[in-house]
Amino acid sequence: MYENVILERRGRVAVLTINRPDKLNALNIATRNEIVAVFDELRSDAEVRVVVITGSGEKAFIAGADISEFAGRTAHQQREVMRSSRVFSVIEDFPKPVIARINGFCLGGGCELALGCDIRIASSNAKLGQPEINLGIIPGGGGTQRLTRLVGEGKAMELILTGKIITAQDALEIGLVNEVVAPEELDARVMELANQIAEKSPIALQAAKESVKTAARANLREGLEREVDLFALCFASEDKEEGVRAFLEKRKPEFTGR
């Protein structure tokens, strides 16, 4: 059904693999459209509680936008492309948690895609950066905004102005990734984390993600009010009753998503 991506379901976790290893999984228009279509499909799939995004092959997560599509493209055409497949915002606004499994080069639009995810786990051999400046352009998929919010203005400026590519360990030190693991442990660690999150109430997960995202979108007062609203909304769910009862009865909760 998809040509550039592979969608697998592993229990409650969906794994989306960008599958253009010959081009280091660079994001061409067709791939971006397929990513958006996959997220549309997964949105209404109640079985899926967490999504993992990764790259095919040993070498790359995603080496950026497909540079071959930039040649000869006009400003107007580029604007239309960026408006039509807003893959980064689709991931950020997705109601379920999304984990980036960074298995190699994570550059430009690939880094921006990872920034749109909720948690980033990198292989120790991954390399990250925003090298757009070397092409005479700037990050256009949220890099100047999301990277700055995540690592602070100084580090974001350094990465974006120099275009330098950093190691996974350096990315961990500045808070760009949550964890670094050995390549052979990456799959197990990401699935362990995804399954751990997938056990929670999907209603609470959605509220938690929306509330945390509000921190970057609203001022403190508005954010705190939104948090109270979302907290109270959880009280409308059966999952809240189940979670509280399970604690009181000293047993593991079984969340149904109702």
- Positions marked catalytic: 112, 132
Using DSSP's 3-state secondary structure scheme, residue 197 falls into: helix
Among 97, 131, 142, 243, binds ligand COA (CB under 6 A): 131
Which of 48/60 has CB closer to ligand COA? 60
Mark 176-215 with x for binding to ligand COA (rule: CB under 6 A) and - for no binding: ----------------------------------------
Pick the stretch among 29-37, 107-115, 173-181, 189-197 that binds ligand COA (CB under 6 A): 107-115
CB crowding 212-247: b at 16 or more within 10 Å, else e: eebeeeeeeeebeebbeebeeebeebebbebbeeee
Pick the stretch among 42-50, 90-98, 100-108, 143-151 that binds ligand COA (CB under 6 A): 100-108
- The whole-angstrom separation of Cα 10 and Cα 131 is 34
Pick the stretch among 80-88, 112-120, 128-136, 199-207 that binds ligand COA (CB under 6 A): 128-136
Which of 42/65 has CB closer to ligand COA? 65
The backbone torsions φ and ψ at residue 98, rounded to the nearest 5 degrees and listed phi first, read -125, 130
Q: By CB under 6 A, how many residues form the interface with ligand COA?
A: 16
Report 49-68 residues binding ligand COA (CB under 6 A).
63-68
| Distance (Å) of CA 105 to CA 7, 108, 142, 194 | 21, 10, 18, 22
Task: Please give the radius of gyration of the chain, using alpha carbons only, rounded to the nearest integer.
Answer: 19
Which of 26/208 has CB closer to ligand COA? 26
- DSSP E strands in 116-215: the ranges are 119-123, 127-129, 165-167, 179-181
Least separation, in Å, of the C-beta of 131 and ligand COA? 4
Least separation, in Å, of the C-beta of 121 and ligand COA? 20
Which of 44/68 has CB closer to ligand COA? 68
Taking the CB of residue 187, how many other CB atoms lie within 10 A of it?
16
Partners of 99 in beta bridges: 52, 119
Pick the stretch among 8-16, 127-135, 148-156, 174-182 that binds ligand COA (CB under 6 A): 127-135
- The whole-angstrom separation of Cα 159 and Cα 8 is 34
- The whole-angstrom separation of Cα 147 and Cα 139 is 10
Which residues of the shown chain bind ligand COA in the complex (CB under 6 A)?
23-24, 26, 63-68, 105, 107-109, 131-132, 135
